Amino acid sequence: MDFNSNNLLVPRGKIFFAKYLAGTQTPGPFREFGNCPEFTLTRESETLQHYCSQQGLKVLDKQLVISSTMNGSVLTDDIKTENLAYWYLGNTTTLSTTIQTGLIETFLLVKAGDTFQLGRSDTNPSGYRKVTTTAVTDGAGTPVPRVLGTDYLIDTDLGIVEIPVGSAAIGGTLKVTYNVAASSREQVVAGEQQIEGELKFISFNPIGAQADITIPRAILAPNGDMSMLNDPESTAFQTLPLSITVLKKGILALAYRDGRVLA
C-alpha cells in the first residue's frame, strides 16, 4: 500500500481571452491577461431531493441534479488598457488631436487653489493635452498680463492651470489664450457592453502534471474594487478583479481540460 502523496500540484499558468467578433460568437485572436495572482473556477449544482414517508423516519431515497453552473474569477495586476476595458465594460480607443491655435478660455471668480482643465467639452470631456500658452491676462479691455509662477502655474503636458496663494488673479478673471499640438493617447471609455468570448488557460506548473483548460463561451464582468491609491508604505500593487460566467455554446461542453500529449 502506497502512503505517499503522488499527485500534488503547485498551480501556475497563463490566461488568454479571445473576444468574440462584433455580432458573432466567432472568437478573434487570443490576448494574454498578463500576470494573474488569482484564477479560480467554481462549479455548483442544484438538486431535487425525494424522501420516503411511507413508514418510520423520513429517509432520503433519491437525489437528482436539476441544474449546474460554472463560474470563476480572475485577478490580474497587469494594468494594460485592454484589461482596464474589461473592468470598465468598455472599449479602448486612440484619441487623436490635431493642431489648434488661438483657443481662448476665461475663468471667473478665481480663488487660490483653483485648478482648471483646458479644453473640456462634450466631445472631449477630459480636455486637451500638449498645450502652449500665448497669453494669460485678466481679460479686461486693456488686458493686464498674469505672471507665470506667481499668478498661475501650468502643466503643459496635461493642460492644467493652477492658481497659487498670493496670485494677483484671485477674486478676478483669468483669460488664457493657448495653442494645442497634434497628439494621440489611449483612452478607455466606460460602457455597459457585455464582454463575451473564449477563455483559455495554459498551465506551467513547477510541480505536478500539466493540463490546459478551454472554455468556449465566457462572459467577463467587473467584480470588486480597483484600488486607485495606496498608503505610501503599502507593498500592494494595483489589481483588477473580474468575474467569469461560463455559458453554453451550441453542442459544446462548458469546458474542456486537456492533459499534455503523451509520449
Average pLDDT on 19-40 reads 96
Nearest to 74 by CA among 248, 218, 235, 193: 218
CA–CA separation, 97 and 104 (whole Å): 17
Strands 240-246 vs 100-107: parallel, antiparallel or unpaired = unpaired
Q: If you average pLDDT over residues 74-103, what whole number do you get? A: 95
pLDDT computed for residue 116 by the predictor: 98
Spatial strand order of the sheet with 100-107 comes to 100-107, 174-180, 131-137
> For residue 263, is pLDDT > 80?
no
Rounded to an integer, the average pLDDT of 211-238 is: 93
Q: What is the pLDDT of residue 197?
A: 97
pLDDT band at residue 5 under the 50/70/90 scheme: confident
pLDDT at position 151: 97
> At 84, is the secondary structure helix, strand, or coil?
helix
Mean pLDDT over all residues of the chain? 95
Mean pLDDT for 59-84 is: 94
User: Is the four-CA dihedral 149, 153, 157, 159 of positive or negative sign?
Assistant: negative
Q: How many CB atoms lie within 10 A of CB 149?
A: 8
Q: Decide if pLDDT at 262 tops 90.
A: no
pLDDT of residue 70: 96
Instruction: Quote the pTM value.
Output: 0.87
Using DSSP's 3-state secondary structure scheme, residue 105 falls into strand
- Give the pLDDT of residue 107: 97
Closest to 132 measured CA to CA, from 94, 110, 108, 99 = 99
Domains, the chain, ordered by start: 13-90+190-259 (2.30.110), 94-186 (no CATH)
Is the pLDDT at 166 greater than 90, yes or no?
yes
The pLDDT score that the predictor gives to residue 56 is: 81
**Percentage of the chain surpassing pLDDT 70?**
100
Q: Answer yes or no: is pLDDT of 74 > 80.
A: yes
Bridge-based pairing state of the strands 59-76 and 256-259? unpaired
